[in-house]
Structure 1
Amino acid sequence: MSDQRGIPRRSFLKSAVAIGGTAALSACVDRFGEPDVEQGPEDLSTLPDRQHAWDGSLSTDDHGNVTAARHHALLLLDYEGDGAPTEADREQVEQSFRGLERAYRRSNDGLLFTVGYTPSYFDRFEADLPGSVDLPEPEAMAPFEEPEFDTPDAAVHLASDHGQVVVAAEEALKGEVSTLNGVEMPASLSGVFSVADRRTGFVGEGLPAENDDAAGVPEGEVSEDAPLYMGFKSDFSKSQASEDFVTIGEGPFAGGTTQHVSKIRLHLDQWYEQDSRYHREATMFCPVHAEEGLVEGTGENMGDSTGMEEHSCPAHTEEHAREYGKVGHSQKSARAREDGSPLMIRRDFDATDDGRASLHFVSLQETIGDFAETREAMNGTDVAGESGVGQRTNNGILQYMTVERRGNYLLPPRSLRALPPARPA
């Protein structure tokens, strides 16, 4: 579907989200009209207290895999006040979030959002975070990376299938629009928070192919049905932890979770123009998958599982390194498990920030330590040096990525999402 100038609808909406602002919002409305989106409930107590409880509000595919919303924005925010937040600031922030919830149904067809807080934010309090919360400062997670660290006070993640909704919600939070979807906004974040950084992106069939003019991805190589730049789906339900698993279980922040956000630059020219399909399957999944032809297209044929355990890929990682001279990304990551469950939920999305192909890796886990354990397994330092496996080459997909930024956040339950103290009563 295109507008009157022949610009594909998907590309136009992606660009509008990336540009942001009231001009982009007006352009969306002028060309495509207001999306027909149901308003949220008047009684907000009907919503889950877990901010991160998105799965029940997202669509699923034919295999029961949860399908991500198509358009995303990450707003990194600085608190404008001095010292500990005031009750007036807390009330203003809470009312702004309630405005979003009343304006849009809580779903991918409406709006989903979370707000998280960094270690830097909690440093303003005399009391430390309770022992049930693991929220360290961000750090490099591999010997070969040198990322910069995100140290704002907070981050808001907005997600919707409608690019107009993401842009409108952002503008409402900034105080640039006063009405959303027919609902008067009771407050904004203006005067309490300022935007320190803004990141946007997309995920879903067709979007990466339509946005392959960014540096780092060769034009015309990404298949039309690929949901991500690397050409394969990643939303297999058996490769994701449950929301129950990643939820903090005790203490004043029970019902919350932790979030890690990485900004990763992609280098996919070799991936598509030099590497074979066999190599891509072997290093994304497992050498056995490539040998036996287990992956068709983007991997839709695999249902709800990458088949790691069924084909004993994690247990044979070192053996495969010696035999094939390469190991798979999913194969290595699947070694980080607790009672058979992955340790985290991925909610990442592709981007063209700065005109470069990127991935904003967003993960949820009960503790940042769970993310660190998963990342250590993915690094594959234990198999580097085996046959053709290097520290990054033939070691999963490491050589095609550069981690540029990292940040850690606490996502409190909804009842504490507005400028929480370190030790809630």
Structure 2
Amino acid sequence: MVSPSHDSLSRRDFARAAVAIGGSAALSACLERESPQVDVPRGPDDLSGLPSRQHAWNEGLATDEYGNHLAPRHRVLLLLDYADDGEPTEADRETVEDAFCTLERAYERSHDGLLFTVSYSPSYFDRFDDPVSDSVDLREPEALAPFEDPALDRPDVVVHLASDHGSVVLAAEEALRGELDELNGVAVEATLDGVFERVDRRTGFVGEGLPAENQDVADVPDSDPVPDESPMYMGFKSGFEKNQASEDRVTIREGPFAGGTTQQLSLLRLNLHQWYEQDTRDQRVSKMFCPAHAADDRVEGAGHNLGASSGLGNCPAHAGDDAREHGAVGHSQKAARAREDDSPLLLRRDFDSTDGDRATLHFLSLQRRIGDFVDTRQAMNGTGISETSAVGQRLNNGILQYVTVERRGNFLLPPREMRALPTPTP
């Protein structure tokens, strides 16, 4: 599957397959396939100029003609546990920080190099006598709807690696594992080997062409229905700039973790047989955006014509009326009701996946408080709407009937200077 002589795979599809497999053999094949097309820029020797906010990616992302930030195309999530039972040692902190600094010196902090974050769960902080500062809303994960029963993720740490180049995320992962002596010309002098133990590894992709090229998996009809121009499996663009919280909005403002944020990570299984074979395009537009978008034919293709906003206008205020009159309500229409000072609460950095040969979505969101995610999810549930209309708990209620939440976890993403095994009250 990752042989560089396998010409039936495009370079983008090949990189996705290599990232999904992982390991030194996949890295070697990916490097051979990408070179010499890929010349990845190095990071600075002096790291003092890097931002304190780990989640401040936007400056390093490409944008489209409307100013929407384009997500890095290839991703790896490493779920790890601290290898010792007690509180982390200063020696381990120094080793972990040196390992992350190696990545920053090896690769420019951009989509063309490497973007990464390091976050910690409530379970990690349980090893300390002191609780996490009450200026941080970091709570245990839970089911957030009566029809949910997710397994709850509680690894100590999640490392999120992202780049437009599959070889970069693979090489960064191998360096952290202690499998490389050199990374993009930089000596690897410290690794995570021996400090952390791997709990799970998840991979994925996002961007025009990648879902269409990787739809030969379970949960997707054999007719290959995912449009070529769609960046996501469900056929529509997401992440419109005006429908995303800003990096400032999701940043913790006070307390010892000021400058950090919280991260929510859910694993969602997609039922695309039902989505593409049962529903017409108008029905999909109604359920993804709102009935008015379908009635007025506002969405062309994957929705790039909408520009920097999904253009919902008064749709959120009319959610109940639409449910009663049209028998359906839109996903975006419901979610947009969870706003503060006319700003969305979540900054989404999610991506699709073929892990386990299934069509899935790793829904990764950043928010100042985990409570902001809970509020947005409750708005998406549309409970009041389903109680006063023909719309069911899941049926015709946005995209709920096409998505099953299989796993969920909550994490604190501290400022960069605290990313190496932080204490709860630094």
Q: CA deviation at 1:81?
A: 1.5
Residue by residue over 1:264-298, the C-alpha shift from the partner in whole angstroms, topping out at 9 and shown as x without a partner, is: 00001121112100000000000000000010000
1:20 has 2:11 as partner: no
Residues 1:241 and 2:241 are matched in the alignment: no
State how far apart, in whole Å, the 1-side matches of 2:52 and 2:275 are. Answer: 42
- Give the root-mean-square deviation of aligned CA atoms: 1.0
1:230 equivalent in alignment to 2:225: no
Q: Does 1:146 align with 2:159?
A: no
Tell me by how many angstroms 1:194 deviates: 1.1
Counterpart residue number, 2:304: 300
Aligned with 2:12: secondary structure? helix
Matches within 5 A, 1:214-225: 214-219=217-222, 220-225=224-229
The one-letter amino acid paired with 1:348 is D
Residue of structure 1 aligned with 2:266, choices 255, 262, 278: 262
- 1:286 aligned partner: 290
Matches within 5 A, 1:47-86: 47-86=50-89
Give 1:386 shift. 4.1
Give ranges in structure 2 of 5+ residues lacking alignment: none
| Aligned counterpart, 2:279 | 275
Residue equivalent to 1:323: 325
Identity %: 65
The separation in 2 between residues aligned to 1:276 and 1:334, in whole angstroms, is: 24
Q: Which moved more, 1:411-420 or 1:30-39?
A: 30-39
Give 2:299's aligned amino acid.
V
Q: Using the TM superposition, name which of 189-198 and 25-34 deviates more.
A: 25-34
Counterpart position of 1:5: 6
Q: Which amino acid aligns with 2:300?
A: E
- Distance in 2, matches of 1:94 and 1:290, equals 50
1:253 is matched by which residue type in structure 2? F
CA contact (8 A) 1:21 1:167 kept: yes
Please, which of 396, 421, 425 is the counterpart of residue 423 of structure 1? 425
Partner SS state of residue 382, structure 1: helix
Match of 1:314 in 2: 316
Conserved? CA contact 1:58–1:66, under 8 Å: yes
The amino acid of 2:239's aligned partner reads D
Which structure 2 residues correspond to residues 402-417 of structure 1 after superposition, within 5 A? Answer: 402-417=404-419
Q: Distance in 2 between matches of 1:320 and 1:415?
A: 48
After superposition, the C-alpha distances for 1:246-270 in whole angstroms (9 at most, x for unaligned) are 0000011000000000000000112
* Structure-2 separation of matches of 1:325 and 1:234: 24
- Residue 3 of structure 1 and its aligned partner are, at CA, apart by 5.4
Aligned-partner SS, 1:278: helix
What is the distance in 2 between the residues matched to 1:74 and 1:381?
32
Work out the CA distance in 2 between the residues paired with 1:385 and 1:376.
14
The gaps in structure 1 that reach 5 residues or longer are none
Q: Partner amino acid for 2:339?
A: R
For residues 264 and 13 of structure 1, the distance between their equivalents in structure 2, rounded to whole angstroms, comes to 23
User: Which residue of 2 is the match for residue 170 of structure 1?
Assistant: 173
> 1:115 is matched by which residue type in structure 2?
V
The equivalent position to 1:99 in structure 2, one of 98, 102, 109, is: 102
Deviation at 1:185, TM superposition (A): 1.3
Instruction: Note the 1:118-197 alignment, pairs <5 A.
Output: 118-197=121-200
Aligned partner letter, 2:263: Q
SS at 1:383's partner residue?
helix
Shift of 1:141: 1.1
Matched ranges for 1:359-370 at <5 A: 359-370=361-372
CA distance in 2, matches of 1:183, 1:120: 34
Question: Which residue of the partner structure matches residue 398 of structure 2?
Answer: 396
Question: In the TM superposition, what whole-angstrom CA distance separates every residue of 1:165-204 from its partner, at most 9, and x where no partner exists?
Answer: 0000001001111211011012000000011000000000
1:341-392 deviation line (CA, Å, top 9, x unaligned)? 0001000000011110000000000000000000000011111144431100
For 1:354, the aligned partner's letter is G
| Contact kept in structure 1, 2:262 and 2:367, CA below 8 Å | yes
Structure 2 CA distance, aligned partners of 1:132 and 1:240? 24
Q: Is the 8 A contact 1:261 1:362 kept in 2?
A: yes
SS at match of 1:403: strand
Conservation of the 8 A alpha-carbon contact between 1:201 and 1:352? yes
Q: Distance in 2 between matches of 1:320 and 1:397?
A: 15
Residue in 1 that maps onto 2:354: 352
CA contact (8 A) 1:383 1:389 kept: yes
Greater alpha carbon shift after TM alignment, 4-13 vs 115-124: 4-13
SS at match of 1:384: helix
- State the match for 1:87 in structure 2: 90
Kept in 1: contact 2:11–2:33 (CA 8 A): no
Q: TM-score, normalised by structure 1?
A: 0.98
Residue of structure 2 equivalent to 1:42: 45
Q: TM-score, normalised by structure 2?
A: 0.97
In the alignment of these two chains, the number of paired residues is: 421
Distance 1:225 1:196 in 2: 35
Structure 1 residue 401, shift from structure 2 partner: 0.5
Q: Which amino acid aligns with 1:103?
A: A
Q: Residue 208 of structure 2 aligns to which amino acid in structure 1?
A: E
**For residues 186 and 50 of structure 2, what CA distance do their matches in structure 1 show?**
18
Are the aligned partners of 1:3 and 1:9 in contact in 2 as well (CA < 8 Å)?
no
* Structure 1 segment 335-346 matched on structure 2, within 5 A: 335-346=337-348
1:204 & 1:30 partners in 2: Cα distance? 23
Residue aligned with 1:85, SS:
coil
